[in-house]
Amino acid sequence: MNNCKIMAMAAAALVLSGVPTLAQDSTKTAPRLTIGGYGEAVVTRNFYSDHFNRYRFPEQHKDDKSHGQADLPHVVLNIGYDFGRGWTMGTEIEFEHGGTESAVEIDADESGEYEAEIERGGEVALEQFWLQKSFGRGLNVRAGEMVVAVGAVNQHHLPVEFFTVYRPEGESQILPCTWHQTGVSVWGRLDGWRYEAQLLSGLDAERFGADCFVRYGAGSPYEFKIANKYAVAARVDNQMVKGLRLSASGYYGLTFRNTLKSIGDKYNGVEGALWIGTFDFQYKAGNLTARGNAVWAHLADADKITAFNKNFPTHVGQDGSPSKHQPVASDAATAGCELGYNVFGHFERLSAENQKFIVFGRYEWYDSMLKGTNAAAYEWCGKQRIALGVNYFPLPEIVVKAEYSERFYKSPYNNEPSVSVGVAYSGWFK
């Protein structure tokens, strides 16, 4: 493989992972335009109730029938361009759960009236759009819509970077995922270290909830994101030991009054300061891969934000809001680890062909209502999850995944076992 192709692959891989490329290191050999992406298709059978009241009345739904789901969790197209002289551009367009489909038709049963129908739920999002100026390996400046450098899943969310069929559940349930905001970033690499510091638009406390904590706070129901409040984030990665990456990240931002709604004087002094601290690691040695992550988050004024959100009417058409109308925790947390072993590493021919067959196990715990108003009534938001399965890589860019998993709850809630099978790719095309 020639040097041009090797450097092009490296540049595309960095764009896909949300890590900035060092255009000035490769302008003479790498192509100016890079196109890549990743995608996942999943089929799951859930051996538990899908009734919306299964947590409120668990005994009534203990013996409900199983149900199946087919999903396209993420299909993503990445485009990068090197303008020269250290200036680069990156974009990421993501279709979650198949995107959206709508249609207008004439209904024969409604006197020939036109009707609009939603044929498919999902999301289409421009998750990255940024311009970057690189001054060298140690200093790069980026501005635009970018991935927030907080947590393991946001930084390493490609399907070849985790073993489970879906993204690790704990972190992606309590934090936005993939978390992207508009802002400015400064980052660089120095002797085995990578650093990044970001100034970002803040989250919207109106969209927080009991079962999701701040997960939906980065989104917007409007044609723009409200930016009344701001936040800072930072991340440090250390890779000085061969095969080992140690990472820590943090976040601080204000979340209240980041809304279009006029709030008045009743909530004077309420800021909704959000603190997040994370740690994650990866260790690779021979055929063994181990990963782990932990997140702790604290939301100030959670009781007042709860009262504010629950005070909205429940229907948007009646002066309501996109609020989930649920209590919000003052504290949320998650921790997890996974271990995988490549069986094909013992077979010379399969290893030479870059094929892998990884047997893995994952454990995680998370609680989106760890502490806060009415936390006792939302004990089902705290759960443990175990997943056991396999990953088959016929090529480094393609993986077939299968797993058995189960969520474990405190009594009287019912455990939730499931079986999932998925196929995914992550690669560059140009």
Q: Which DSSP string do the residues of 135-154 spell out, in sequence order?
A: EETTEEEEEEEEE---SHHH
Nearest to 258, CA basis, from 303, 297, 200, 210: 200
β-pair type (398-408, 244-254): unpaired
Handedness of CA 409, 294, 292, 147 (dihedral sign): positive
The one-letter amino acid code at 370 reads: L
Alpha-carbon span 265 to 234, nearest angstrom: 33
Alpha-carbon span 430 to 427, nearest angstrom: 10
What is the DSSP annotation of 306-353?
A: HHHHHTS-S-GGGT--S------EEEEEEEEEEEEEEGGGG-HHHHHT
Please tell me whether residue 430 adopts helix, strand or coil conformation.
Answer: coil
- Listed in sequence order, the residues at least 6 apart from 310 whose beta carbon sits closer than 8 Å to its beta carbon are 323, 325, 326, 327
Classify residue 229 by burial, with Cβ atoms within 10 Å: 0-12, 13-18, 19+: buried
Handedness of CA 103, 108, 112, 113 (dihedral sign): negative
Record the pTM: 0.87
Query: Are 134 and 86 a contacting pair, CB within 8 Å?
Result: yes
List beta partners, residue 424. Answer: 40, 399
Please tell me whether residue 207 adopts helix, strand or coil conformation.
Answer: helix
Query: Are 136 and 114 a contacting pair, CB within 8 Å?
Result: no
Chain length of the chain: 430
- Listed in sequence order, the residues at least 6 apart from 131 whose beta carbon sits closer than 8 Å to its beta carbon are 87, 88, 89, 142, 143, 144
Alpha-carbon span 425 to 41, nearest angstrom: 10
**Topology annotation, domain 3-428:** Porin (2.40.160)
Alpha-carbon span 38 to 216, nearest angstrom: 23
Compute the radius of gyration of the chain from its Cα atoms: 23
Structural element, H or E, at residue 11? helix 3-16
Quick one: pLDDT at residue 153? 95
Quick one: pLDDT at residue 10? 42
- For the beta carbon of residue 73, count every other beta carbon within 10 angstroms: 19
Phi and psi for 181 in degrees, rounded to 5? -140, 160
Quick one: pLDDT at residue 424? 98
- For the beta carbon of residue 246, count every other beta carbon within 10 angstroms: 15
Alpha-carbon span 79 to 93, nearest angstrom: 9
Structure tokens belonging to residue 394:
């016929």
Token match 């279709």: residue? 95
Query: What's the DSSP call for residue 193?
Result: E
Alpha-carbon span 374 to 274, nearest angstrom: 19
The one-letter amino acid code at 395 reads: L
Quick one: pLDDT at residue 430? 76
Q: How many CA atoms lie within 13 A of 36 on its CB side?
A: 23
What is the DSSP annotation of 250-289?
A: EEEEE-TT-SSS---STTTT---EEEEEEEEEEEEETTEE
Alpha-carbon span 403 to 414, nearest angstrom: 20
Classify residue 35 by burial, with Cβ atoms within 10 Å: 0-12, 13-18, 19+: middle
pLDDT by residue for the chain (430 residues), tens digit each?
444 443 444 444 444 444 443 333 333 456 799 999 999 999 999 999 999 899 999 999 999 999 999 999 999 999 999 999 999 999 999 988 876 655 555 444 444 454 555 555 567 888 899 999 999 999 999 999 999 999 999 999 999 999 999 999 999 999 999 899 999 999 999 999 999 999 999 999 989 999 999 999 998 877 788 889 999 999 999 999 999 999 999 999 999 988 877 777 888 889 999 999 999 999 999 999 999 999 999 999 999 999 888 876 555 445 556 677 889 999 999 999 999 999 999 999 999 999 999 999 999 999 999 998 778 889 999 999 999 999 999 999 999 999 999 999 999 999 999 999 999 999 988 7
Alpha-carbon span 315 to 322, nearest angstrom: 9
